[in-house]
């Protein structure tokens, strides 16, 4: 059952110039959330910006207080206002929403593929995989440059191996994440893999195509503009394979945000 109430800001940390980590106290969401789900946050009182913003749940912190963390990047007015919310402010928060990741079977190696701020969805998945005693994942993480890579410390502490790619070559392999991912898939030697990806749509499209071509199960966490987040406005739909009646659209907010790669046409 989704929870809708003002959540107090417990911490609000700048990770760099435009990435922030927001810690909110919202016990009901913390209790019910699953990796891959999201919340809708009101970024500012009043009507401009008007709509709440969908944000992946980055982590549910241990302890009885019921804390969740949201990792976000300033991309527009809404997130700029959100970044100005001080400790103690109340942020109207609705969630948990959507269908999250399905955890892989035991013995399957999870490959997490992140582009840009898509990294925000993965700390929760890493902790869920550990709690479910699944294999340690490998993270493939791409960004424009070294300065855009955030949350690396979290993955280091969790002993998650990380392979980096940057478009300008300032860290890891120069190029896109797919340049790192391709040899990993080729060298798997038949061991069962499953890909979990989150990032910009062109990246998801490329990763999905690689996975489908290699016959590897792949879950994509989609981003979309969501006026409501609860399945009512029908504004966030994504295109799915057409049937005999024509194009098929599914709601990212309620039928996703996580889809199998073969379920969507990006």
Partner 1 sequence: MRDASPRPADVDLSVSLGPLRLKNPVVAASGTFGYGCEFAPYLRLADLGGFVTKGLSLLPRRGNAPPRTCETPSGMLNAIGLANVGVEAFLAEKLPALRDCGTAVIANVFGETQEEYVAVSRRLNGAPGLAALELNLSCPNTEKGGLAFGVSPPVVREVVAAVRRAAPDQPLIVKLTPNITDVAAAGRAAKEGGADILSLVNTFLGMAIDLKTRRPVLDNVVGGLSGPAIKPLALYMVHRVHREVGLPVLGMGGISRVEDALEFMLAGSSAVQVGTLNFFDPTGSVRLVREIEAWCVREGVRAVREITGTLRLPASGTPTPPAG
Interaction of residue 265 with partner 1, rule CB under 8 A: no
Task: Report yes or no: 174 and 198 within 8 Å, Cβ to Cβ.
Answer: no
Q: Binding mask 85-124 vs partner 1 (x if CB under 8 A, - otherwise)? A: -------x-x------------------------------
Nearer to partner 1, 77 or 105 (CB): 77
Stretch that binds partner 1, among 18-26, 145-153, 164-172, 227-235 (CB under 8 A): 227-235
Interaction of residue 1 with partner 1, rule CB under 8 A: yes
Closest CA to 204 of 258, 266, 145: 266
**Binding residue (CB under 8 A) for partner 1 from 230, 260, 262, 263:** 230
Interaction of residue 27 with partner 1, rule CB under 8 A: no
CB of 192 to partner 1, least distance (A): 34
Nearer to partner 1, 49 or 175 (CB): 49
Nearer to partner 1, 8 or 231 (CB): 231
Q: Binding mask 170-209 vs partner 1 (x if CB under 8 A, - otherwise)? A: ----------------------------------------
């Amino acid at each position: 059952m989704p929870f809708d109430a003002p959540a107090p800001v417990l911490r609000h940390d700048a990770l760099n110039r435009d990435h922030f980590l927001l810690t909110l106290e919202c016990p009901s969401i913390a209790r019910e959330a699953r990796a891959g789900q999201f919340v809708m946050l009101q970024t500012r009182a009043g009507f401009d910006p008007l709509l709440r913003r969908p944000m992946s749940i980055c982590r549910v912190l241990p302890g009885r207080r019921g804390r969740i963390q949201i990792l976000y990047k300033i991309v527009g007015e809404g997130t700029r206002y959100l970044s100005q919310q001080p400790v103690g402010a109340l942020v109207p928060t609705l969630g948990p929403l959507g269908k999250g990741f399905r955890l892989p079977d035991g013995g399957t190696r999870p490959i997490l593929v992140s582009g840009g701020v898509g990294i925000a969805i993965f700390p929760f998945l890493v902790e869920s995989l550990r709690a479910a005693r699944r294999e340690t994942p490998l993270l493939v993480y791409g960004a424009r440059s070294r300065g855009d890579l955030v949350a690396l410390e979290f993955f280091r502490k969790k002993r998650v191996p990380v392979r980096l790619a940057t478009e300008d070559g300032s860290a890891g392999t120069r190029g896109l994440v797919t340049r790192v991912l391709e040899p990993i898939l080729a060298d798997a030697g038949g061991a069962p893999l499953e890909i979990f990806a989150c990032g910009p749509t062109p990246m998801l499209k490329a990763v999905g195509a690689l996975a489908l071509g290699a016959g590897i199960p792949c879950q994509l966490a989609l981003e979309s503009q969501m006026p409501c987040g609860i399945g009512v406005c029908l504004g966030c739909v994504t295109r799915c394979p057409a049937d005999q009646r024509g194009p098929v659209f599914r709601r990212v907010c309620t039928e996703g945000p996580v889809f199998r790669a073969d379920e969507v046409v990006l």
